[in-house]
Amino acid sequence: MKVAVLSLFFVMFSFLSCAQESSPALTWYTDVALAAEAAVAEEKPMLLFFTGSDWCGWCHRLQREVFNTTTFSTWAASNVILVELDFPRNKVQPQNIKDQNQMYQQQFQVRGYPTIWFVNVAKEGEKYNMSTLKSSGYMAGGPDVWIANAKSIIEGGK
């Protein structure tokens, strides 16, 4: 009897897992220089996500309601290079990432979290230049509302 129940459980679980919608795997860069190379190579703007991953409630909400959805994953894979600039309180980060994040926090004058900056990247010689488009943050309404705002920012910068 136990074997039959277990077998039924595994069969049902298999059907449920197959029915789930798969979303494109997203790459979130933490090194801005590598992200800039990808942005130039793929001719996409960068989405800079300033977050406090281990303490910021609104950041968690943005990730849960927007970034972790199939709708966002599909859109982002085709439209932006994702960069996470994290300011954790209790997680250890490599010093070079901490220094980089602090520099960009000052450069973009980030005062609250989450803050998202959209930037275009151009390569001139060996240097990458960023031109800001506009910033955003958490928006109620889920991925469709958030993506519509992101599209208007990106389209406005072309």
Please check whether residue 6 lies inside any domain of the structure: no
**By residue range, what is the domain housing residue 121?**
27-156
Please check whether residue 3 lies inside any domain of the structure: no
Per-residue pLDDT band for 94 (boundaries 50, 70, 90) equals very high
pLDDT at 8: 38
Please give the tally of structural domains in the chain: 1
Please check whether residue 32 lies inside any domain of the structure: yes
Q: Per-residue pLDDT tens for 16-59?
A: 344 445 667 899 999 999 999 999 999 999 999 999 999 999 99
> CA of 127: how far to CAs of 44, 86, 118, 134, in Å?
17, 24, 19, 22
- Which of residues 41 and 13 earns the better pLDDT score? 41
Please check whether residue 14 lies inside any domain of the structure: no
Q: Would you say residue 132 has pLDDT above 80?
A: yes
pLDDT at 24: 76
Please check whether residue 10 lies inside any domain of the structure: no
The CATH number that applies at residue 59 is 3.40.30.10
Please check whether residue 4 lies inside any domain of the structure: no
User: What is the spatial order of strands in the sheet that 115-124 belongs to?
Assistant: 28-29, 81-86, 46-51, 115-124, 127-136
Alpha helix stretches (DSSP H) within 53-94: 57-62, 70-79
Q: Per-residue pLDDT tens for 61-79?
A: 999 999 999 999 999 999 9
* Mean of pLDDT values over 118-132: 96
Question: How many other C-beta atoms are found inside a 10 Å radius of the C-beta of residue 80?
Answer: 19
Q: Would you say residue 155 has pLDDT above 90?
A: yes
Please check whether residue 18 lies inside any domain of the structure: no
Please check whether residue 94 lies inside any domain of the structure: yes
